[in-house]
Amino acid sequence: MSQHLHDVTTHKRIVGEKMTQVVSLLMTRAIVHDNSKFSPEEFDLFEKTTAKMKDMEYGSDEYKASLKSIKPAIDHHYAVNSHHPEHYDNGINGMDLLDVVEMVCDWMAAVQRNKNGDIYESLKINKERFNIDDQLYSILVNTVLSLEGLK
């Protein structure tokens, strides 16, 4: 076997192993996503407000007021779920790529339960809310487009 062929096949194997590791970690995250919402710290408070919030627009004053009413549950949720920027002292800058992938999937699912939910509007709001730079914002938009089969 030539050195080139050896190097290329070794490279492909290592990349495949790393990508398989990413897939495995994402599968684990998919399985345990938001399990804390079943905990005593979160369940009852989320149970009381989730149905009401369906008729609210994301980011509205009414929406923000509802969030304040369940602050202890939200604080717990952010503390134990790394896919939320609030989990980190430095917000999104503390996240890794796996956190970001789970976050964008979470945002896509969340807009489906809100009145007039729109992932692109949510991305704009969250760009300001979390001080997301233009490059990461473009990556998030491109990821949403890919997941929606539009890219």
DSSP the chain: --HHHHHHHHHHHHHHHHHHHHHHHHHHHHHHTTGGGGSTTTHHHHHHHHHHHTTSPTTSHHHHHHHHHTHHHHHHHHHH-TTSGGGSTTGGGG--HHHHHHHHHHHHHHGGGSTT--HHHHHHHHHHHTT--HHHHHHHHHHHHHHTT--
| 115: pLDDT strictly greater than 80 | no
**At how many degrees (to 10) do helices 97-110 and 3-32 cross?**
40
pLDDT of residue 40 exceeding 90, the answer is yes
Summarize the confidence of residues 82-89 as an average pLDDT: 98
How far apart are the C-alpha atoms of 110 and 130, rounded to whole Å? 17
Q: pLDDT tens for residues 4-34? A: 999 999 999 999 999 999 999 999 999 999 9
Q: Is residue 63 very low, low, confident or very high in pLDDT (cuts 50, 70, 90)?
A: confident
Above 90 in pLDDT, residue 74? yes
pLDDT for residue 101: 98
Listing DSSP states for 12-33 in one string gives HHHHHHHHHHHHHHHHHHHHHT
Please tell me the pTM assigned to this model. 0.91
Instruction: Please report the pLDDT score of residue 58 as a whole number.
Output: 78
101/113: higher pLDDT: 101
Find out whether 83 and 103 touch, Cβ atoms under 8 Å: yes
Proportion of the chain above pLDDT 70, given as a percent: 100
Query: Is pLDDT above 90 for 54?
Result: no
